[in-house]
Structure 1
């Protein structure tokens, strides 16, 4: 038997998760058995518990959609050279990464960068892949352009700030609160706007001398999207990454027409089905950036397994910055 956090019903993490013993998983064909070395908590973990994620799991199940682990077992047809290696990626649900052991698809297990420790490596995959595809694949970011990043101190936002700076862009970070503003500045944002005390639309227009931004990176939705549409520049691109704010906006397409900007959607997970080679290429680029010091995942807290629910609760309330990582 091995330990795992199991959702026994659907609801808030602190109400439905229990630390329990389950049978040790066995890898099937094309799968890896992985000993979890670090689990990066993501907002989808909270949504899974609530039954609000795009994939709905029936209890009991284990959340945890991102990890760094050590390969300790192989299913049929898997290259034996993977045994003993350190990998990052997504587990095979419903046995997520908030567990002692989990399963991964061998074709989607990516080598962990040697330059990052377990906690940092566990936070590299989802946020940085999302930022990479949003900025480079969808928005076609060019050096010297100006990027507006919402939730710039969060898990995905902090990755976008670093990636935009690494690409030679000017970055405007929007955050909620003074502490988060300091974090965004530390990540390299050229201008940081606290939306709780400033009008970010006016601040953006002033900073850009009325031109507006070239790219808006929006994992929030709601007022963040509405504001982005008001300060996007000529031939600008708004990349819709998610709706962490809880409200899905209905954009006015006539506004996009008269201002000549683009609205781009990003469902990063779809690339794993449609273009897995692009995901591998992005991983190689991210490893190179990590090894050169161009990016470094922001791990705000490292907590033991027994405090995983506290981390998920804080994440669900929007109280965290960067990534909270659970260590075995």
Structure 2
């Protein structure tokens, strides 16, 4: 089969011809129709040391839309020919940047009634945004939200989810050139991080109270900014780094709460964690099917172009989503 492999010795994505993998007892073999490209795929050089036995046949690619071609001996509830969507295990070698991939049967969801390329753009970014806003921040009960990184995949989905739940004030950082795009997703006020004072702008747009909840999708020191923008007993989700309450202004006196989120940790968290992953995917996909959530900026690439696209994701800010169409 044709595949895009990763060589950790020289940090290169390399096209290769590999044997078709065979599923274990609890896995399914999926014929890949489309696979989403995500920062976690692009930044494999940062986490490849945690993958056991990674060699030059390692195929990345976590977000896969495809058709089941074979099922393992213990698999129940799935059959050959079923259309499925999933977010895969980053520490397993047979990912979606190939004609065929392997997936844990208990991590699959039925394919939503949308184009496979659209579906493949959603698991990592969309399901993460869903879990952050609904499971961690209880967005259905909130009136104000700050999203740091509004033009990215996860940030853009978060804005749309907040809009769906009727959040009145949705503030989002982005560059001036992406302001119209972020506004179209549902942001009530965009903040240009290049020249605007984010903290002051947040307080100006929340009657000097700060936001109820914040979501940092950027990383670096943006967790400090997100935390400092919170109002009394506000909540923040940090997606990229680790929260650092001691350095946030008034974290104790304001009674702030902080959350971590790693979608892929479901594969290390046991049965309940994986079930939560599946539930998030199913819930998000219902909104996708209903048109409440869209993928408005979508770039489609071939397998031959995917390696360069991953390096682009790694080296600069990406607006919207990039998807490999097999």
Question: Considering the TM-score relative to the shorter chain, is it more than 0.5?
Answer: yes
Distance 1:55 1:180, change over 3 A: farther
Q: Which runs of 5+ in 2 are unaligned?
A: none
Deviation at 1:171, TM superposition (A): 1.2
> 1:310 and 1:186 mapped to 2: Cα distance?
29
Deviation at 1:119, TM superposition (A): 1.1
Q: Give yes or no for contact 1:88–1:110 (8 Å, CA) kept in 2.
A: yes
Instruction: Write the deviation string for residues 86-109 of structure 1: whole angstroms up to 9, x where unpaired.
Output: 111134521111111111111111
Distance 1:259 1:294, change over 3 A: same
Deviation at 1:242, TM superposition (A): 1.2
2:148 corresponds in structure 1 to 150
1:8 corresponds in structure 2 to 7
1:257 corresponds in structure 2 to 252
1:325 corresponds in structure 2 to 323
1:98 corresponds in structure 2 to 97
- Which moves more between the two structures, 54-63 or 134-143? 54-63
- Which moves more between the two structures, 207-216 or 277-286? 277-286
Q: Which runs of 5+ in 1 are unaligned?
A: none
2:70 corresponds in structure 1 to 73
Instruction: Write the deviation string for residues 4-61 of structure 1: whole angstroms up to 9, x where unpaired.
Output: 111223454xxx111010111111112111111111011111221x143684352321
Deviation at 1:283, TM superposition (A): 2.5
What secondary structure is seen at the aligned counterpart in 2 of 1:172?
A: strand
1:87 aligns with 2:117: no
Distance 1:63 1:253, change over 3 A: same
What secondary structure is seen at the aligned counterpart in 1 of 2:240?
A: coil
Deviation at 1:167, TM superposition (A): 1.5
Distance 1:59 1:298, change over 3 A: farther
1:40 corresponds in structure 2 to 36
2:293 corresponds in structure 1 to 295
Instruction: Write the deviation string for residues 76-129 of structure 1: whole angstroms up to 9, x where unpaired.
Output: 122475311211113452111111111111111111110x21111012222222
Deviation at 1:73, TM superposition (A): 1.3
Q: Give yes or no for contact 1:10–1:59 (8 Å, CA) kept in 2.
A: no
1:217 aligns with 2:215: yes
Distance 1:22 1:172, change over 3 A: same
Deviation at 1:225, TM superposition (A): 1.3
Of 265, 276, 279, the residue aligned with 2:277 is: 279
What secondary structure is seen at the aligned counterpart in 2 of 1:295?
A: coil
1:17-56 to 2 correspondences below 5 Å: 17-48=13-44, 50-52=45-47, 55-56=50-51
CA RMSD of aligned residues (A): 2.0
Distance 1:282 1:184, change over 3 A: same
Task: Give the alignment's TM-score, normalised by structure 1.
Answer: 0.90
Instruction: Write the deviation string for residues 226-263 of structure 1: whole angstroms up to 9, x where unpaired.
Output: 112221111100111114xxxx6643267310122111
Q: Give yes or no for contact 2:8–2:48 (8 Å, CA) kept in 1.
A: no
Task: Give the alignment's TM-score, normalised by structure 2.
Answer: 0.90
Q: Give yes or no for contact 1:34–1:71 (8 Å, CA) kept in 2.
A: yes
Distance 1:23 1:53, change over 3 A: closer
What secondary structure is seen at the aligned counterpart in 1 of 2:231?
A: strand
Instruction: Write the deviation string for residues 128-149 of structure 1: whole angstroms up to 9, x where unpaired.
Output: 2211221111122234511101
> 1:317 and 1:117 mapped to 2: Cα distance?
29
> 1:323 and 1:42 mapped to 2: Cα distance?
8
